[in-house]
Amino acid sequence: MLCIINCGTSFLAELKESIGVLEQAYEIVGIEKLEGHDFAKYSGIVISGGPILLSEIDWKRYAKPFEFVKDGCIPVLGVCLGHQIIGLLHGSSISSGTKIDQKEKIEILEKDALFAGVENRSLFRESHKEFVSLPDGFTLLAKSASCGNEAMKHGQKDIYGVQFHPEKSGEVGRAIFRNFARMCKQ
């Protein structure tokens, strides 16, 4: 079973639909219920996007409930805000820029199981104004004209972050979720 951590995303319905079509059981856990939650029962975790601007708050306090990600051994996929949280937990810096709210061509830089079956330059939906640098120990998987770190992977664990929104990107986005679900079954 997958766990979707809902960070207040306005795309929750699309996220549930994208995972639901995989015929993959899932449970939604609100961000306010992370402390003390038993994540060992899940085969994978998806951390959603959300409306929080981490550059404008004490992000360390906000990210504290996600510390388990660093110590865990199950696959994790952070989407938008989830991507940023993963980056910050591992030493990234965060910056703010112009709001991007459109489909954008993403260039895949490294072959990886997360992008299996996805063309090298594919359109994905963006909806963000903050960006994280690539943390030490991570591989840069994709970039775009507006964002230097569109996708990343931890060097030793199946911990991924994508700045874009696969749940709003049609079939190419569903491929990302299919590939992640395959990792979770291994």
Per this entry, what is the length of the chain?
A: 186
Label residue 185 by pLDDT band (50, 70, 90).
Answer: confident
pLDDT value at residue 172: 86
* 49 closest CA partner among 161, 170, 180, 171: 161
Domain count, the chain: 1
- Write down the pLDDT at residue 24: 81
10 Å Cβ neighbour count for 115?
A: 22
The per-residue b/e assignment along 74-89, b for 16 or more CB within 10 angstroms, e otherwise, is bbbbbbbbbbbbbbbb
Q: How confident is the model at residue 127 (pLDDT cuts 50, 70, 90)?
A: confident
Would you state the structure tokens that stand for residue 140, as one six-digit string? 């840069």
pTM: 0.94
- Give the pLDDT mean for 55-61: 90
- Looking at this protein, which amino acid is placed at residue 182? R
Mean pLDDT over all residues of the chain? 92
Q: What is the mean pLDDT of residues 60-82?
A: 91
What is the percent of the chain with per-residue pLDDT over 70, rounded to a whole number?
99
Q: Are 67 and 149 in contact (CB under 8 A)?
A: no
143 contacts: CB under 8 Å, gap ≥ 6: 106, 107, 109, 149, 150
Extract the tokens encoding 28.
Answer: 């939604």
Predicted confidence band at 118 (pLDDT cuts at 50, 70, 90)?
very high
Domain hosting 116: range is: 2-185
- Give yes or no for residue 173 having a pLDDT over 90: no
Cβ–Cβ < 8 Å for 31, 8: yes
Kindly list the catalytic residues: 80, 165, 167
Helix (H) or strand (E) holding 101, with range, is strand 94-108
pLDDT level of residue 23 (50, 70, 90 thresholds):
confident
CATH number at residue 41: 3.40.50.880
- CA distances from residue 143 to 36, 77, 110, 174 in whole angstroms, order as listed: 35, 17, 10, 19
Give the whole-angstrom CA distance, residue 35 versus residue 31: 9
